A and B are shown apart, each in its own frame.
Chain A
């Protein structure tokens, strides 16, 4: 087993897919980001991304069921934060996700994915034997991939 780098930190939490759990996990992530040296804005943005990723799981992978597991793991190895959001629900077709192309602003939906794409440096959906794992990364000095 390898020894973790001295500056590595880890946060792991698992909750049920009840929207009442969103705020608590978001605030844990924001506090963890601050502890790892991210500024408040960056921590808040990563908290929002975790909120949006979990909400997607609740709405799409679990179709509103509130008693299914959602696991969130944040690992920091300076200067990079890596956050995974894991579900054991229905896989969804990632090719159907909205792209960065111009969209009809008057149509609701898609804002959560826009946040993930613009506020994180990289996002990857990995199909698992059961469910999906979303991996999001952001460097401490980065502002994500937002448009100028």
Chain B
């Protein structure tokens, strides 16, 4: 396991574990700070060269479509294939938005980081 440092307070912690980048995201995310999330997330991805990304959204009570666009861009960047981007610990509002946009079908949604890590190993 290798701890990584993020440039943004939206990502209070991140680490490499196996071939996965595990990122904790924190805060409400809308058009005001989604560009910051995008920069920080892709910066970590560039540094880690991970093949999979696990985003722990336990501390994200709200996100809007601009944050969803960052997640979709991440998925495109990770390339084709199953089990590339995991979203864990979704709060009800975030889960609801993904369902409305029918995007819960293109991400792997798990209840915990452990469950996601088990699927990557």
Q: Which residues of A contact B (CB under 8 A)?
A: 19-20, 22-23, 26, 41, 44-45, 48, 51-52, 55, 58-59, 105-109, 111-112, 114-115, 118-119, 146
Contacts and interface: CB of A to CB of B under 8 A. Distances in A.
11 contacts: A19-B31, A44-B93, A51-B64, A105-B103, A105-B105, A106-B75, A106-B76, A108-B68, A108-B72, A109-B69, A111-B65
A58 B108 CA distance: 32
B100 interface: yes
Given A105-B102, A111-B101, A114-B101, A55 B30 contact: yes
B111 interface: no
Contact of B97 (A26, A48, A105): A48
B69 A19 contact: no
Interface string B19-35: 00000000010111000
3 tightest A-B contacts by CB?
A111-B65, A19-B32, A108-B69
B115 interface: no
Interface string B92-116: 0100110011110110000000000
Interface residues of B, number: 22
Contacts of B73: 108
A20 B32 contact: yes
Nearest to A105: B106
* Chief secondary structure at chain B's binding surface: helix
A55 B101 contact: no
A119 B32 contact: no
Nearest to B64: A51
A132 B105 CA distance: 35
A21 to B, nearest CB: 8
A114 B96 CA distance: 13
A38 B73 CA distance: 35
B66 interface: yes
Contacts of B96: 41, 45
Interface in B1-60: 28, 30-32
Given A19-B31, A19-B32, A108-B73, A55 B93 contact: no
Contacts of A58: 31
B67 to A, nearest CB: 10
Contacts of A45: 96
Contacts of A107: 72
* Among B64, B69, B101, B102: residue with most chain A CB under 10 A: B64
A59 B72 CA distance: 19
